[in-house]
Structure 1
Amino acid sequence: MNLYHMLSESNAKGRPVRVGLIGAGKFGSMVLAQARKIAGYHIVGVADLDGAKVRASLKRTGWEENEYSATSLSDAVDTGKTFITDDAGALCAFEGIDCIIEATGHPIAGTRHALKAIEGNKHIVMVNVEADVMCGPILGRMAREKGLVYSMAYGDQPAFICELVDWARTCGFELTSAGKGMNFQPHYRYSTPDTVWGFFGWSEEFVAKGDFNPKMYNSFTDGTKAAIEMAAVANGTGLDCPDDGLAFYPSGLHDLASVFKPQSEGGRLPKNGLVDIAASREPDGRTVMNNIQYGMFVTFRAPDEYTRGCFEQYGLLTDKSGWYGSMWRPFHLIGLETSVSVVSAVLRGEPTGTSREFRGDAVATAKSDLKAGSFLDGEGGFATWAKAIPATISTAVDALPMGLAHHVKLKNDIKRDQIVRMSDVEFTEDLDVVELRREQVRTMGPNAASAADAA
């Protein structure tokens, strides 16, 4: 609870926290908006393939041109200004930077940037959940082996869910489930970039006036983003994804403790210890009362009668029995809050959530009958949605992680709602990341222990 005090002390000693930002999109812009208002927090460099986009983001978020006029990374450290570059590797290698924020959203690029950051002895705040859910467990292990912090981004929902899980366990409550809110109905699953705006109620004229990315918005709509984030939470907390994917139970704030408990106790979960989603829409389209569309939650059980009584005395939202309660955070401000992760990593040596084990997976699943010879188009595209399942199941069926479902050719026909397998696609590019993923399965997957024993 004293990060700001620690940052102020470090800055007073002439040691600001020095940061390299990769990616100047929406999340990166939000990071930049707050960075110049935090004393002792210095964005040394911003890397993006599109320098004009970086300058536009800086201007849009209130920066003066002089503030990003550094002529090199070294000049940025000497002057306190910011350097713009298209070389992410240079940020990762530069000795004057303490921490890298990876905010590209591209799973392949993000994985490579994390590897470069580890090689350059940098802490990493992995905004890029797409990369984290695919290779985060092995990247986290590699970072820890070098004494580095590999962290989820505070402000994004997975980090907040991990924080709530940690809170519940540290308090001694019996954790039941964790998740987040989301606008979802079952038929959203098959949304495409051509149909997505209808789910938002936006006209073509409205969309034409804005800078909207249909694939990005579609990844939220079809449940892919939820699967990616919940699988990442599983890897960071030791909770499990449901065997058949997220159920998206409609639930409002006052019903969380009743819905997200085991069926044996009158809830809807098949068992304890799961991640899932509190949908803000009923299957027929009605809006759920007191929904938590932008929030995150945990549910938990009182360990004894005394604690159960305290739940009642202090007004905790519980189920009818009073044994199960819920705690939630109503909003998340994504990049506006990410400095908390950076300062925690650099000054405290602690992540704000991190992938510790390969427990959950987000795997590519067909939106329609797909033909051999066609190409997959990744997250939010026309071909697949991501399904969050346990790694025990994904590795048993050789499932293709969503992060590798970008521009790969199908070798076999795939039926609608069928999981695509690694052996169903032809890999001709990104073989380094494919091999890293396979190494994660070999060394951290469900069969890793038995394989080590056999060796």
Structure 2
Amino acid sequence: MNYTQRLLEREKTVGRPVRVGVVGAGQMGSGLIAQIERVAGMEVSVVADIAVERGVAAYEKAGRQDVQVETDLAKAAELVEAGKPVVIADGLQMPKLPVDIVLEVSGVPEIAAQIAYASLLGKKDVALMTVEADVTVGLLLSSVANAGNQIYTICRGDEPSECLKLVEFAQDLGLTVIAAGKGKNNPNRPTDVPEDVMEEAKAKNMNPRMLCEFTDGTKTQLEMCALSNATGYPVDVAGMHGPSCTIEELAKKLIPLADGGILTNTPVVEYTVEGDVAPGIFAVVKSEDPVVTHELDYLNFGTGPYYAVYRPYHLASIEAHLSISEAILERRSDFQTVVWQSEVTAVTKFDLAAGITLEGMGGHHVRGWTVDAAQAREQNAIPIGLVAGCKLIRDIKAGATLTYDDVEVDETRPLVAMRRLQDALIKGGVI
């Protein structure tokens, strides 16, 4: 039975659809709201956005009328119970409303982490779209959720979660996973700054910093780090190989050196550039049984023993609500951090002078670079998710990995406090 049938059955039994509270009504949030409103047995009950007019506009674009902006939580709760669309300004108030799950789409790691943590403490399930928050404090969030019998999940639709589905498919078939990852569907220019992508960003109606996060490689590093921490698969080398590769070459290049590939260890997470892999995702697998290998060859799956399980697309916000269905109906997370295997560190784009206040991802100062988490701890490297707003206390050369010794960190920031707690729990073997 598919989700639609089961959601309708649930609605008939419970007397109402699944109530989703969405935090963030920007480009991604607006698309998600429109998509969820098309799903039978599910509705967007509340939208939270600091610019309430964006929330109203997102509702109206999705076909909802009589949207009410409310500051009184008691009145907002009454409207939710009555099935009326409500917009509030403060996403941190969302857990206090009668929604079944909080869907975070802010795109800002500091906000996303706070929303997720507050929602879990408020006994709400959480679906997260901001992977930047997960690669900073995801193990803490998943641990809190699991301890409280709640769901914390990264949403379907983006490459990490869809890669995991391919990995699970391969494992269910008894195949050995060698590598899993994505094709990078943007140029790879490590020293890009927002001004370099301004015109393209305008044409795509994007925030130039968001586009810069893609083109300087940070987003790919973040996504593959998330996949690493969800599977336990490490990176083969710092930053990954990122080879030029076609679909046909996946099962020839992303295999062990001994068999003509480029990998020194397996399984690993990886990405490719150029070629025709993007915007798809892949899992390179190996058949360990000659009978199975013969059958797969006969079925034109490839030429064994290595094969590429490939999906040529990922549908972002169009698929995200599937994780809500999985959470509500199955009480299961589609994708979450299970081990702190990898870390995205901050590498300087240019020479930087002491005294500057650092910009975060997609800015002028740093780009993301994934390394083994143990290596990051040895270097005392600061996670890129914490860099924004830190003051540089000494001169740093281009291409250097920033450490806690290089910066002045504002310890009053909630995200910093959450990360300190996660680090302490990891060190103590609690998570």
TM range (shorter): over 0.9
Aligned to 1:262: 256
Q: CA deviation at 1:247?
A: 1.9
Instruction: Tell whether the 8 Å contact from 1:242 to 1:390 is kept in structure 2 after alignment.
Output: no
Q: Secondary structure at the match of 1:407?
A: coil
What is the 5 A alignment of 1:390-429?
A: 390-428=372-410
From the superposition, tell whether residues 183 and 264 of structure 1 become closer, same or farther in structure 2 (CA, over 3 Å). same
Q: 1:164 aligns with which of 159, 163, 166?
A: 166
2:114 maps to amino acid: R
CA distance, structure 1, for counterparts of residue 255 and residue 203 of structure 2: 44
Deviation string 1:353-403 (CA, Å, 9 cap, x unpaired) is: 111111111111100111111121111111000001111111111111111
AA matched with 2:371: I
Equivalent residue number for residue 78 of structure 1:
81
Q: CA deviation at 1:74?
A: 2.2
1:98 alignment partner in structure 2: 100
Give the corresponding residue for 1:327.
309
Q: Distance in 2 between matches of 1:435 and 1:69?
A: 35
Asked whether the equivalents of residues 157 and 296 of structure 1 are also in contact (C-alpha less than 8 Å), the reply is yes
Flag the 1:298–1:207 CA change in 2: closer, same or farther, 3 A. closer
- Deviation at residue 98 of structure 1 after TM alignment: 1.1
Q: Please point out which of 124, 135, 138 is paired with 2:137.
A: 135
Identity, in percent, stands at 29
Q: Does 1:373 align with 2:355?
A: yes
Letter in 1 for 2:118: K
RMSD: 1.8
1:4 equivalent to 2:7? Answer no
Q: Is the 8 A contact 2:80 2:86 kept in 1?
A: no
Q: Is the 8 A contact 1:155 1:335 kept in 2?
A: yes
Distance 2:186 2:259 in 1: 26
Given residue 415 of structure 1, which amino acid in structure 2 is its aligned partner? K
Shifted more, 410-419 versus 430-439: the winner is 430-439
Specify the code of the residue in structure 1 equivalent to 2:336. T
Compute the displacement of 1:210 (Å): 6.1
Question: What residue in structure 2 maps to residue 16 of structure 1?
Answer: 17
Please report how far the alpha carbon of residue 163 of structure 1 lies from its aligned counterpart in structure 2 after TM superposition.
1.1
| Amino acid across the alignment from 1:387 | W
How far, CA to CA, are the matches of 2:187 and 2:16 in structure 1?
50
1:332-343 equivalence runs, <5 A? 332-343=314-325
How does 1:31-50 map onto structure 2 within 5 Å?
Answer: 31-50=32-51
SS at match of 1:65: coil
Distance in 1, Cα, partners of 2:246 & 2:79? 48
Q: Give the superposition deviation at 1:185.
A: 5.4
User: Could you say which residue in structure 2 is the equivalent of 1:285?
Assistant: none
1:120 pairs with one of 99, 119, 122: 122
Q: Which residue of 2 aligns with 1:240?
A: 234
2:425 is paired with a residue whose SS is helix
Contact 1:45/1:76 (<8 A) preserved:
no
Residue of structure 1 aligned with 2:299, choices 314, 322, 336 = 314
Does the 8 Å contact 2:92/2:114 carry over to 1? no
User: What CA deviation, in whole Å up to 9, does each residue of 1:302-331 have, x standing for no partner?
Assistant: 01101111110111134xxx1000112211
Q: Secondary structure at the match of 1:375?
A: coil
How far apart are residue 29 of structure 1 and its match?
A: 1.2
Quote how far apart the aligned CAs of 1:83 are: 0.6
In 2, Cα distance between equivalents of 1:257 and 1:373: 48
Q: Distance in 2 between matches of 1:419 and 1:317?
A: 41
* Cα drift, residue 241 of structure 1: 2.1
Q: What TM-score does the superposition give when structure 2 sets the normalisation length?
A: 0.94
Shift of residue 258, structure 1, vs aligned partner: 0.8
SS in 1 for 2:261: coil
- What does the per-residue CA deviation read over 1:424-446, in whole Å, with 9 as the maximum and x for residues that have no partner? 111236433213212222322xx
Separation (CA, whole Å) in 1 of partners of 2:321 and 2:10: 15
CA distance in 2, matches of 1:398, 1:429: 16
Q: Is the 8 A contact 1:302 1:323 kept in 2?
A: yes
| Number of the residue aligned with 2:68 | 69
Correspondence for 1:352? 334
Q: Deviations over 1:60-99 (max 9, x none)?
A: x332432x337543233333221100121221122x2111
8 Å contact from structure 1 (residues 242, 389) kept in 2:
no
1:189 match: 190
Query: Which amino acid letter does the alignment assign opposite residue 49 of structure 2?
Result: D
Shift in CA distance, 435/242, structure 1 to aligned 2, threshold 3 Å: farther
Distance in 1 (alpha carbons) for counterparts of 2:128 and 2:302 = 33
Larger CA deviation: 423-432 vs 103-112: 423-432
Which residue identity lines up with residue 35 of structure 2 in the other structure?
Answer: Q
* 2:82 is the alignment partner of 1:88: no
Separation in structure 1 between the aligned mates of residue 241 and residue 355 of structure 2, nearest angstrom: 32
TM-score by length of 1: 0.89
Aligned residues of 1:33 and 1:336 also touching (Cα < 8 A): no
Partner of 1:283: none
What 5-or-longer segments of structure 1 have no aligned partner? 198-203, 281-287
**Would you say the 8 A contact 2:69–2:88 is kept in 1?**
no
- Runs of 4+ aligned structure 1 residues displaced above 4 Å come to 206-210
Does the alignment pair 1:300 with 2:285?
Answer: yes
Partner of 1:176: 178
User: Which amino acid is 1:90 matched to?
Assistant: Q
Q: Is the 8 A contact 1:108 1:430 kept in 2?
A: no
Query: Partner amino acid for 1:89?
Result: L
Deviation of 1:339 (Å): 1.1
The equivalences for 1:191-230 within 5 A come to 191-197=192-198, 204=199, 211-230=205-224
Please tell me whether the aligned partners of residues 222 and 380 of structure 1 are also in contact (alpha carbons under 8 angstroms).
yes
Does the residue aligned with 1:249 lie in a helix, a strand or coil?
Answer: coil
* d(CA) in 2 for partners of 1:239, 1:211: 35
Whole-Å separation in 1 of the counterparts to 2:169 and 2:204 = 40
Distance in 2 between the 1:256 and 1:24 partners? 38
Match of 2:414 in 1: 432
